[in-house]
């Protein structure tokens, strides 16, 4: 069974979000990092870049596969986890903590309503 914290919302493509006011933090789920295997490289946008809900924002590369990353929301990138550039294995070690990927200043809070609840995401991964 994979960890699915109750304090987040999810995309079907296995990204997670947490919200603090108008800032949304994004990463990939425990299920996703397990499917990928050992993560060796992460490509992320720069601070100030615009991202759109449902659109690709980066790439995660593992020994087994290369996978696109999709933004759950639209907005401006306000922070990037630069630790991942030197230590991409943080995605495997702590996908819901130190392995976070970016923060976005949300431009449309209604987009959060279309994300999966923890229960809905758990059903998808069973």
* HEC-encoded secondary structure of 109-123: HHHHHHCECHHHHHH
pLDDT value for 60: 97
Pairing of strands 102-106, 66-70: unpaired
pLDDT value for 1: 79
pLDDT value for 6: 97
Q: What is the pLDDT along the chain (126 residues), one digit of tens a residue?
A: 799 999 999 999 999 999 999 999 999 999 999 999 999 999 999 999 999 999 999 999 999 999 999 999 999 999 999 999 999 999 999 999 999 999 999 999 999 999 999 999 999 988
How far apart are alpha carbons 26 and 11 in whole angstroms? 10
Tokens representing residue 49 in the block: 């870049």
Q: How deeply is 19 buried, as exposed, middle or buried, from its count of CB atoms within 10 A (0-12, 13-18, 19+)?
A: middle
């Amino acid at each position: 069974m994979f960890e699915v914290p109750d304090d987040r919302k999810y995309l079907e493509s296995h990204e997670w979000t947490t919200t603090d006011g108008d800032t949304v933090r994004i990463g990939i789920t425990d299920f996703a990092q397990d499917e990928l295997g050992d993560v060796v490289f992460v490509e992320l946008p720069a601070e100030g870049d615009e991202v759109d809900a449902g659109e690709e924002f980066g790439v995660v590369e593992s020994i087994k596969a290369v996978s696109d990353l999709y933004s759950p929301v639209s907005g401006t990138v306000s922070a990037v986890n630069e630790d991942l550039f030197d230590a991409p294995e943080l995605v495997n070690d702590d996908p819901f903590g130190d392995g976070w990927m970016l923060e976005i200043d949300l431009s449309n809070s209604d987009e959060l309503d279309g994300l999966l609840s923890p229960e809905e995401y758990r059903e998808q991964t069973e």
